[in-house]
């Protein structure tokens, strides 16, 4: 992931010269982004297995506080970014979109683990959403099942880099008429309606999964039960 | 949620209205994406309605379309705090079904791993219970310090911190080196000291006693009727531990006691877990003494692990159960002689232990509902599957 460098108008030579005399000069952008990236408040909620690794990251050994993101807020209205840590089921997805809508600008999303990115190992499940990026925009994807705490810290650093690359004059949350509120999907008879938000995500023309793996080997449900007249094991105790 | 419309005529001004509160699914104290609809009269709970299914990941349906060996990594993700115990139960079920022998050393490794996960689980659960009581995050820091040490072992042995995927039918994936055993010995030696430290801070703490004693009392007859298992049952004074009753694997070789509570309140559930950890340490010490060099997997089973679609157990059914840290974790398998199980069912202790939630909560204050839920010890991955 590469972000454009935030080009400072100040010459590096002058900066160094002044720094030797104890004077630090910075652009407003630098200062603004430094403040924002140094105290990111994540939203405190866990979905599945990855949440445990998220808690481990917040604990003493990995200590996410070193990166300024230790203050987990239970309310979306106080949070800066959201760590989607775990499998998003179709029952949970509308609630996640609602939580995203309630977050104040500027807001970021970090998906943690394979399930939140694409469904992961549970992609064949009838109740599993194949990636939360179908409904809300995602800034950092963090693969792994579950990702190690170091990986989460790396993802956080990537998010900080993204924040550093943004400019105060051009940032979209100060523009007029911006409303990053996405429609909440509804429960339908065959999954969620709509299936994805076309503003955020569009299906690929070619299906990569089919290309790579061929048709998935699914035998389907057999209708006839096996004849169990020979009981192999007696019920224990 | 249904809104009750109360007209002015039929209410006495002295009567209070009941209030319906919706906990979760996004709430820091519901241990995941669990939701409770609580009806309150003032602060007293009138009724609790749990709403589940926010983490229904179709474990059973996916498993029925996979080979027997391919289900093993999915069992890790059932109860993500103790993946080794989940592996254990599934491996036992398949071994019963296909009648596979397990070598001696593998049995010892399995018991060591299962007891280490019990330490991980109980220590974290107590940390989170204290979290729910209002001691925000400090006990969890202590608990996770110990957890990380054990996870290092798991990582060295199986290659993954949480999702170990370590057990195989007829043994385990790879051997444990002497250096790892030495490391485990060190941890086991130091663990009682940590428990003493933990207990010095907590067990006789007045706030903990006041909040936990006589809260959420589970009478033994209700516990038995609701088929509660695990520490929740034993805290009510019922002596039932699958390790003693079923004597699966090699548990009959170890001498350990089953701690029992006498009241069945939240405090007993907390204290039974502490004592259980001490007994686990005893089992670990004996197992580390008894382990001998040998085969870590049955030589016959290595062949079908390389070709998992060739592994076709005979037609029949099998139920393998273990004493997971949450309770009786059972796997029911029906085979029709094909590489896939015809039916696969998980008896998850979290789901069945949760059925008494309403009985425990009614009559208590709303703050107690959270610690009762914390003391039952649910994991949503296993509850919803």
Nearest to A95 among B25, B65, B321 (CB): B25
- Tell me how many residue pairs between chain A and chain B have CB atoms under 8 A apart: 142
Mutate to test the interface with B, among A123, A231, A236, A237 (most CBs of B within 10 A): A236
B235: nearest Cα among B210, B213, B202: B213
Predicted local distance difference test score (pLDDT) of residue A237: 47
Nearest to B162 among A53, A60, A236 (CB): A53
Distance to chain B for A159, nearest Cα, Å: 23
- Helix residue ranges per DSSP H, B228-346: 231-235, 242-245, 266-290, 301-306
Mutate to test the interface with A, among B24, B29, B56, B138 (most CBs of A within 10 A): B56
B133: nearest Cα among B35, B218, B242, B207: B207
Distance to chain A for B185, nearest Cα, Å: 22
Question: Alpha-carbon distance B31 to B219, whole Å?
Answer: 25
For B125-139, the pLDDT digits (tens) are: 988 888 888 888 888
Q: Residue A43 gets which letter from DSSP?
A: B
For B200-247, the pLDDT digits (tens) are: 888 888 888 888 888 889 999 999 999 999 899 999 999 998 888 888
Winning range, highest mean pLDDT, from A23-32, A194-203, B19-28, B326-335: B326-335
Say whether B27 and A235 touch across the interface (CB within 8 A).
no
Predicted local distance difference test score (pLDDT) of residue A233: 55
Cα A150 to Cα A56, A153, B8, distances in angstroms? 10, 5, 59
For B170-208, the pLDDT digits (tens) are: 888 888 989 999 999 999 999 999 999 888 888 888 888
Say whether A46 and B32 touch across the interface (CB within 8 A).
yes
Say whether A122 and B62 touch across the interface (CB within 8 A).
yes
Does position B23 have pLDDT exceeding 90, yes or no?
no
Say whether A237 and B81 touch across the interface (CB within 8 A).
no
Chain B residues close to A91, C-beta within 8 Å:
53-54, 56
Does position B50 have pLDDT exceeding 70, yes or no?
yes
Chain A residue at shortest CA distance from B165: A145
Predicted local distance difference test score (pLDDT) of residue A230: 58
- Among B residues 25-54, those touching chain A with beta carbons less than 8 Å apart: 25-28, 32-33, 53-54
Question: Alpha-carbon distance A122 to A114, whole Å?
Answer: 9
Say whether A99 and B26 touch across the interface (CB within 8 A).
yes
Say whether B99 and A91 touch across the interface (CB within 8 A).
no
- Among B residues 71-90, those touching chain A with beta carbons less than 8 Å apart: 73-74, 77, 80-81
Chain A residues close to B338, C-beta within 8 Å:
219, 222
Predicted local distance difference test score (pLDDT) of residue B192: 92
Is B338 an interface residue toward A (CB < 8 Å)?
yes
Question: Alpha-carbon distance B76 to B72, whole Å?
Answer: 7
Q: Which long-range contacts (CB under 8 A, 24 or more apart) does A127-131 make?
A: A127/A89, A127/A90, A127/A91, A127/B56, A127/B57, A127/B58, A128/A87, A128/A88, A128/A89, A128/A90, A128/B57, A128/B58, A129/A88, A129/A89, A129/A90, A129/A92, A129/A93, A129/A192, A131/A88, A131/A201
Tokens of B301: 């089973």
Does position B6 have pLDDT exceeding 70, yes or no?
no
Q: How many helices (H) and strands (E) does chain A have?
A: 7, 5
Say whether A125 and B315 touch across the interface (CB within 8 A).
no
Predicted local distance difference test score (pLDDT) of residue A164: 87
What whole-number percentage of chain B has pLDDT above 90? 28
Say whether B54 and A91 touch across the interface (CB within 8 A).
yes
Mutate to test the interface with A, among B144, B194, B309, B343 (most CBs of A within 10 A): B144
Question: Alpha-carbon distance B133 to B211, whole Å?
Answer: 8
Ordered per-residue pLDDT tens for chain A, 237 residues: 556 565 556 677 888 888 888 888 778 888 888 888 898 899 888 888 888 898 899 888 898 989 888 888 888 899 989 999 888 999 889 999 999 999 988 899 999 989 889 888 888 888 888 888 889 999 999 998 889 999 999 999 999 999 988 888 888 888 887 778 888 999 888 888 888 888 888 887 777 767 776 665 555 556 677 777 755 555 554
Beta bridge partners of A192: A187
| Secondary structure of residue A142 in the 3-state scheme | strand
Predicted local distance difference test score (pLDDT) of residue A193: 85
- ipTM score assigned to the predicted complex: 0.86
Distance to chain A for B124, nearest Cα, Å: 10
Tokens of B149: 């040490």
Predicted local distance difference test score (pLDDT) of residue B281: 93
**Omega before residue B373 within 30° of 0, cis:** no
Q: What is the mean pLDDT of residues B339-350?
A: 89
Question: Alpha-carbon distance B337 to B140, whole Å?
Answer: 47
Tokens of B103: 């070598």
Question: Alpha-carbon distance B350 to B34, whole Å?
Answer: 12
User: Residue B90 — very low, low, confident or very high, per pLDDT cuts 50/70/90?
Assistant: very high
Chain B residue at shortest CA distance from A230: B316
Say whether A233 and B56 touch across the interface (CB within 8 A).
no
Nearest to A92 among B54, B80, B315 (CB): B54
Tokens of A25: 């000069």
Distance to chain A for B342, nearest Cα, Å: 7
Chain B residue at shortest CA distance from A86: B55
Say whether A221 and B64 touch across the interface (CB within 8 A).
yes
Q: What is the mean pLDDT of residues B247-271?
A: 89
Distance to chain A for B58, nearest Cα, Å: 5
Does position B1 have pLDDT exceeding 50, yes or no?
no
Nearest to A218 among B65, B145, B245 (CB): B65
Distance to chain B for A209, nearest Cα, Å: 17
Chain A residue at shortest CA distance from B313: A232
């Amino acid at each position: 992931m590469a972000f454009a460098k935030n080009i400072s108008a100040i010459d590096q030579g002058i900066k160094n010269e002044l720094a030797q005399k104890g004077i630090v000069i910075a652009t407003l952008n630098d200062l603004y982004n430094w403040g924002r990236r140094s105290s990111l408040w994540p939203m405190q909620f866990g979905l599945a297995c990855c949440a445990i690794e998220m808690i481990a990251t917040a604990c003493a050994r990995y200590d996410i506080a070193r990166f300024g993101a230790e203050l987990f807020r239970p309310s979306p209205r106080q949070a800066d970014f959201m760590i989607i840590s775990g499998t998003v089921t179709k029952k949970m997805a509308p609630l996640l979109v609602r939580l995203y809508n309630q977050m104040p600008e500027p807001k970021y999303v970090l998906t943690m683990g394979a399930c939140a990115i694409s469904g992961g190992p549970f992609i064949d499940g009838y109740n599993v959403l194949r990636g939360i990026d179908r409904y809300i925009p995602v800034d950092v994807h963090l693969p792994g099942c579950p990702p190690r705490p170091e990986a989460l810290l790396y993802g956080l650093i990537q998010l900080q880099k993204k924040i550093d690359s943004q400019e105060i004059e051009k940032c979209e949350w100060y523009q007029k008429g911006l409303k990053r509120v996405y429609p909440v999907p509804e429960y339908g008879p065959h999954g969620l309606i709509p299936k994805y938000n076309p503003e955020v995500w569009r299906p690929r023309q070619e299906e990569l999964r089919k290309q790579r793996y061929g048709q998935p080997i699914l035998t389907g449900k057999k209708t006839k039960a096996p004849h169990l007249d020979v009981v192999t094991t007696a019920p224990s105790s | 949620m249904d809104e009750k419309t109360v007209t002015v005529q039929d209410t006495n001004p002295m009567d209070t209205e009941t209030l319906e509160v919706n906990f979760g699914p996004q709430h820091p104290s519901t241990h995941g994406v669990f939701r409770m609809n609580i009806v309150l009269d003032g602060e007293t709970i009138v009724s609790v309605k749990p709403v589940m299914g926010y983490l229904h990941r179709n474990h059973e349906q996916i498993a029925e379309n996979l080979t027997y060996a391919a289900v093993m990594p999915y069992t890790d993700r059932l109860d993500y705090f103790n993946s080794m115990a989940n592996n254990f139960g599934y491996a036992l079920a398949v071994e019963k079904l296909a009648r596979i022998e397990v070598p001696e050393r593998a049995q010892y490794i399995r018991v060591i791993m299962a007891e280490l996960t019990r330490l991980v689980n109980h220590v974290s659960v107590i940390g989170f219970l204290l979290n729910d009581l209002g001691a925000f995050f400090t006990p969890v820091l202590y608990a996770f310090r110990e957890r990380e040490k054990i996870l290092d072992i798991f990582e060295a042995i199986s290659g993954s911190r949480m999702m170990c995927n370590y057990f195989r039918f007829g043994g385990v994936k790879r051997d444990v080196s002497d250096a790892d055993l030495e490391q485990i010995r060190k941890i086991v030696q130091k663990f009682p000291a940590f428990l003493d430290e933990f207990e010095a801070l907590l067990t006789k703490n007045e706030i903990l006693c006041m909040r936990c004693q006589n809260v959420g009392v589970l009478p033994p007859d209700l516990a038995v009727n609701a088929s509660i298992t695990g520490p929740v049952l034993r805290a009510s004074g019922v002596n039932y531990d699958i390790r003693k009753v079923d004597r699966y694997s090699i548990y009959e070789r170890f001498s350990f006691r089953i701690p029992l509570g006498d009241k069945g309140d939240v405090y007993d559930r907390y204290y039974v877990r502490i004592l259980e950890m001490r007994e686990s340490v005893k089992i670990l010490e004996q197992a580390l003494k008894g382990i001998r060099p040998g085969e870590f997997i049955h030589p016959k089973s290595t062949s079908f692990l390389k070709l998992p679609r060739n592994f076709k157990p005979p037609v029949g059914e099998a139920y393998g159960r273990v004493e997971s840290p949450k309770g009786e974790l059972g796997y029911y398998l029906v085979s029709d002689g094909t590489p896939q199980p015809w039916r696969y069912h998980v008896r998850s202790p979290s789901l069945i232990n949760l059925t008494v939630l309403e009985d425990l909560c009614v009559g208590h204050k709303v703050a107690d509902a959270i610690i009762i839920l914390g003391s039952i010890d649910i994991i949503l991955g296993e509850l919803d599957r």
